[in-house]
């Protein structure tokens, strides 16, 4: 027999953590998540109105729903805090808008919600709120970038480490930089196959050069050529560094013709 909860089991405990974080795995059961959402519904009319739509949510996305509701209930005195219960132009709070998106996207664009959970699992609470706020304009429901979301999921932790450290708790500059990289790869004009190579490029470049993500993922260079050049990227970066120069990784990968 399932234990009846009197309070939701929560995941976010410390507002003093900023930047790229690694949250522990969500171990809550489906029953515990349903109970948590039901308990929050007692104090929030928008969550209560959402309860009939729980049947539309894939069980693997219930943790995202619970996390989002929990984030909306956490407040900070920092100037960068985002009030997720504040009303939007749609006549709903940001939380209410997101719950509506989740109920549709869970079935229609599940990769987008998997990606969103990855953001929450690898960023501080303010960055997670910022991402949720920035993706309410149809981004999470855009089926044209479904494969982009899947290809870009492994990049979330990398982009967080690249942009959120050192943390800046008094402005959204870091969050803006994080979203800039996200928008480069979650874009209809990007090639998802090239998006899937971005992490390997960063690893092989190893801070010995520079890399324009957008120029790379939107390039017309044949994938086979890029993959061949990727094999020698580390050596080329090392050689450039020894000669006192930084390698332009995107230029090398998309335009190097030494192998042809």
Q: Angle formed by the axes of helices 110-122 and 125-134, to 10°?
A: 150
How far CA 181 is from CA of 60, 147, 152, 162, 186, in Å, comes to 26, 17, 10, 10, 9
> What is residue 142's predicted lDDT score, i.e. its pLDDT?
96
Length of the chain: 260
> What is residue 183's predicted lDDT score, i.e. its pLDDT?
98
Would you state the structure tokens that stand for residue 156, as one six-digit string?
């979330």
**In contact, 152 and 185? CB cutoff 8 Å:** yes
Return averaged pLDDT per consecutive 10 residues of the chain, 260 residues in all.
86 79 94 97 97 95 98 88 91 96 96 98 95 95 97 98 92 96 98 98 95 96 95 95 94 77
> What is residue 14's predicted lDDT score, i.e. its pLDDT?
62
**Angstrom distance (rounded) from CA 40 to CA 44:** 6
Domain ranges of the chain: 16-187, 189-260
């Amino acid at each position: 027999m399932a234990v009846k909860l009197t309070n939701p089991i929560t995941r976010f405990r410390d507002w003093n953590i900023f930047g790229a974080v690694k949250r522990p795995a969500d171990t809550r059961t489906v029953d515990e998540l349903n109970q948590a959402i039901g308990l929050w519904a007692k104090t929030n009319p928008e969550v209560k109105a959402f309860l009939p739509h729980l049947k539309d949510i894939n069980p693997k996305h219930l943790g995202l729903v619970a996390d989002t509701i929990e984030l909306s209930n956490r407040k900070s005195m920092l100037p960068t805090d985002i009030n997720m219960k504040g009303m939007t132009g749609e006549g709903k709070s940001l939380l209410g808008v997101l719950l509506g998106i989740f109920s549709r996207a869970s079935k229609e664009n599940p990769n987008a919600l998997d990606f969103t959970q990855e953001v929450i699992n690898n960023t501080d609470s303010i960055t997670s709120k910022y991402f949720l706020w920035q993706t309410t304009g149809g981004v999470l429901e855009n089926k044209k970038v479904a494969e982009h979301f899947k290809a870009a999921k492994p990049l979330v932790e990398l982009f967080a480490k690249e942009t959120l450290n050192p943390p800046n708790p008094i402005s959204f500059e870091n969050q803006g930089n994080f979203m800039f990289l996200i928008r480069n790869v979650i874009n209809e004009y990007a090639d998802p196959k090239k998006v899937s190579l971005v992490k390997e490029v960063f690893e092989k470049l190893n801070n010995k050069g520079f890399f324009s993500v957008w120029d790379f993922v939107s390039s017309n260079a044949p994938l086979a050529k890029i993959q061949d050049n990727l094999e020698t990227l580390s050596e080329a970066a090392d050689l450039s560094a020894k000669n006192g120069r930084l390698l332009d990784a995107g230029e090398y990968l998309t335009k190097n013709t030494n192998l042809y």
